[in-house]
Amino acid sequence: MRNINQPTPELINRILGIICLEKGLSQNTKTAYNKDISLAFDWFKNKNIDCFRANEKNFRDLFFFLQSKYYKPSSLSRKLSSFKQFYDVLKAEGYIKINPLSNLESFKKIKNLPKSLSEGHLTLLLSEAKNNLKNVEQNNPTKKIKFLRILTILEILYSTGMRVSELVSLPLSDFIRIKDLLQIKGKGGVYRYVAFNKESKKMIEMWLLQRSSIEKFLKNKYVFPGNNGVGHITRQSVYMNLSELSKSINMNSEQISPHKIRHSFATHMLNRGADLRSLQKLLGHADISTTEIYTKVQSKRLSGLVNDIHPLNRINLKKKESL
């Protein structure tokens, strides 16, 4: 067994690199895992516990501490997964003999129904974004670029149900010819197809035409370059632009986010007759049970609707309908 007293940042990064390579994890996931591992090791250090000799009880104490800090079950489960995988690699690399987390079970997740915007709210957002672009002064190219970009992003998010991380990293090379379908690299490195509607294709064409006239963007490989022409626009910038747009129509900025637009896409598609399997493919869900949560949203709203307006007002829709 290898001898080492303290985990170095280089060691942590190397172990996480092995995990990401084996599991095909994204850079964002690696960053989250790094924070989890650092949190655990700092806690062990404060308790004078050697992280390479930490046992099952030590980890149970750690999770008891995290629970006392009101971490959500989903967050605790991810941390447990991070720790288990990290210590699995430590064992494989000869730093420890056994994985002390083998007997720890995942935390029961509370499945929250996804929050989405109404079709009316999204139509209002799109209308405001179009008005901003239409009314922008011709001698203000900076604002024109900003308004055109956020309108294009909003159209793409709502048309495709993309994750914002997938959108910001779209390569320009995929848009030499704009088609109805586009294959993108999604979560976990899994490829899937997304579909563009007519309006989103129109906005993409407008954006690419405007983009081609901006010198600092010409050598950039992304559809949506960063404001300084380097790399791609950040997720935070997209969120801020959407928040500004929502405030301009007196909508609470907390109501709007790229992920809520993704939820809205799924909910509205399902409400209009899309089947679960097709929706699963469009959203890039590995497990259809993740997609099925949107049917619970439907049932909840249906139940509320009938209980509100039915004259008898005593109908019980809690039992599963049989058709």
Tokens linked to 170: 């779209």
Residue 121 falls in the annotated catalytic set: no
Residues 6+ apart with CB under 8 A from 84: 99, 101, 102, 104
Catalytic residue among 78, 232, 235, 262: 262
Residues 6+ apart with CB under 8 A from 296: 113
Q: Which long-range contacts (CB under 8 A, 24 or more apart) does 55-64 make?
A: 55/100, 56/100, 56/101, 56/103, 56/104, 58/100, 59/83, 59/100, 59/101, 59/104, 60/104, 63/104
Residue 222 falls in the annotated catalytic set: no
Catalytic residue among 146, 163, 192, 232: 163
Report the phi/psi class of residue 71: left, alpha or beta, with left for phi > 0 and alpha for psi in -120 to 50.
beta
Catalytic residue among 30, 201, 259, 281: 259
Q: Is 105 exposed, middle or buried (0-12, 13-18, 19+ CB in 10 A)?
A: exposed
Which of these, 169, 145, 146, lies nearest to 223 by C-alpha position? 169
Which of these, 212, 232, 258, lies nearest to 168 by C-alpha position? 232
Residue 134 falls in the annotated catalytic set: no
Residue 268 falls in the annotated catalytic set: no
Q: Cα dihedral angle (139, 144, 146, 151), rounded to 10 degrees?
A: 170
Catalytic residue among 149, 187, 232, 268: 187
- Return the active site residues: 163, 187, 259, 262, 285, 294
